[in-house]
Homo-oligomer: A and B are copies of this chain.
Amino acid sequence: MNDAATGRLPRYGNRPTMKDVAARAGVGLKTVSRVVNGEPGVTQDTERRVQEAITALGFRRNDSARVLRKGRTSSVGLVLEDLADPFYAPLNRAVEEVARAHGALLINGSSAEDPERERELALAFCARRVDGLIVIPAGHDHRYLEPEIAAGVATVFVDRPAGGIAADAVLSDSHGGARAGVAHLIAHGHRRIGFIGDRPRIHTAGERLRGYRTAMADAGLPVSDAWVSLGPTTPERVRAEAERMLTGEHPVTAFFTGNNRVTVTILRVIARLPHPVALVGFDDLELADLLSPGVTVVAQDAARLGRNAAELLFHRLDGAEEAPRRVELPTRLIVRGSGELPPAER
C-alpha cells in the first residue's frame, strides 16, 4: 500500500527510511533523526508522533548509511583459527564481552590455519571499516596490514606474535610453560620423553619445543631426534608418531603434548596400552580431572588472553599512542597425576 501510494516498485527488501517516517509523521527529516538518536530539542508531542510512525512502518535505522556519515562503525574484528576449538572459544567469548562493554559489535571468522584465509578475513573486516582488529595469526607475514594500520585500524595480535610489522601482542609463556611441564616429568624419573606438537611454522609450536629442549638440557639429558615430532595435529599423524616413539630401541616413557588436540589423541593411544605411560599436556581439558589418572596439564588462561587483548585494543582506540606492547601471560602447571607415573622398567 505504501508502494502503491508512492508509485514505487515494491522492490523486495525495500525498507522504510527516515524520509518515509518524516512524511507519515508530518515532520522534517532531521526531526526523525533526532528522535531515533535520542537527541534533545524535540517536544514530547512531536516525539510521540514520530514514534508512532516508526512503529507503524516498522522502520529501523540503516547503520550502513550511519557509518558512512559518521566514520566510525563501533565494531571490531577477530580473526581466529577455529571458532569451534575449545581453546579459542573462551578467548572469543571474552573478546565479545569486552567489546560489548565498550558498545562495540564483534565480527569474527576462522582462518582454519591458512595464511591466505587469515588475510582475506582481516581485509574483509577492514573493508567493513572495523575500528579495530584482533588477530590470531595463521601466517608469518602481516605486512599486508600496514596500510590499514596506517589508516588508523588499531590492531592487536593474540596467542602468537605478528610477522614483519611492529604491533601489540598478547601471548602465553609457551616456553616457560613447556619447560615447567617437561621438568615435572623429569622430576618423576623420566629420561626419554617424547614431544609431539603442531606444525613448526606455528610460533607457539616452536616455543613449546624450545621449552622442552631447555628442560631436557637443564637436566643434562640428551634428546634424540626420534623423540621430537612437529606436524599437523590430525589424529592419524599423532597416533602414528606416538606409536613409533613407543617402539624401537629407545622407547619413550612419557609424552609432552603441544596442544589440546594432540593431548586428546595421545590419551586415546595411551588408554589402549598394556603398561602406563606418563603424560603432560599443554592446554587444559574439560574433563581432565575425571580421568584416572587425572591429566596433568600446563594451563593457559584463554579467557584472560582474550580479555587482555581486547582491553589493549580499546585502550588504543581511546587514543593511546605508545610504542607497541608485548604482554606475556604466565601459564600454570596443574598436577593431577598423569605426570607422576614412574617410568616402566624395561
Contact = CB atoms under 8 A, between A and B. Distances in A.
Contacts of A29: none
A129 B90 contact: no
Contact of A89 (B63, B71, B84, B109): B84
A86 to B, nearest CB: 6
A83 interface: yes
Nearest to A271: B290
A273 interface: no
Interface in A280-302: 285-292
A-side interface size class: 35 or more
Interface string A103-127: 0011111100000000000011011
Contacts of A226: none
B73 A83 contact: no
Contacts of A151: 13-15, 58, 60
Contacts of A142: none
A50 to B, nearest CB: 16
A64 B271 contact: no
Nearest to A13: B152
Contacts of A123: 60
B60 A64 contact: no
A105 B96 contact: no
Contact of A286 (B60, B96, B150, B285): B285
A250 interface: no
A288 B267 CA distance: 12
A93 B83 contact: yes
Contact of A65 (B68, B150, B271, B289): B68
A314 to B, nearest CB: 15
A110 B98 CA distance: 12
Nearest to A303: B84
Interface in A227-267: 264, 267
A158 to B, nearest CB: 15
A82 interface: yes
Contact of A128 (B59, B64, B86): B64
A90 to B, nearest CB: 5
A108 B83 CA distance: 11
Nearest to A302: B84
Given A271-B290, A287-B267, A291-B290, A63 B128 contact: yes
Given A267-B287, A267-B290, A286-B287, 9 more contacts: A12-B152, A13-B152, A14-B151, A61-B127, A83-B93, A105-B128, A108-B108, A268-B289, A287-B291
Which 9 pairs across A and B sit closest by C-beta, in order of nearness?
A: A58-B147, A13-B152, A84-B93, A84-B89, A64-B67, A63-B127, A287-B287, A15-B151, A83-B93
23 contacts: A12-B152, A13-B152, A14-B151, A60-B123, A60-B127, A61-B127, A62-B68, A63-B128, A64-B73, A64-B128, A65-B68, A82-B93, A83-B92, A83-B96, A84-B90, A85-B89, A89-B89, A93-B110, A105-B107, A108-B108, A268-B290, A271-B290, A285-B287
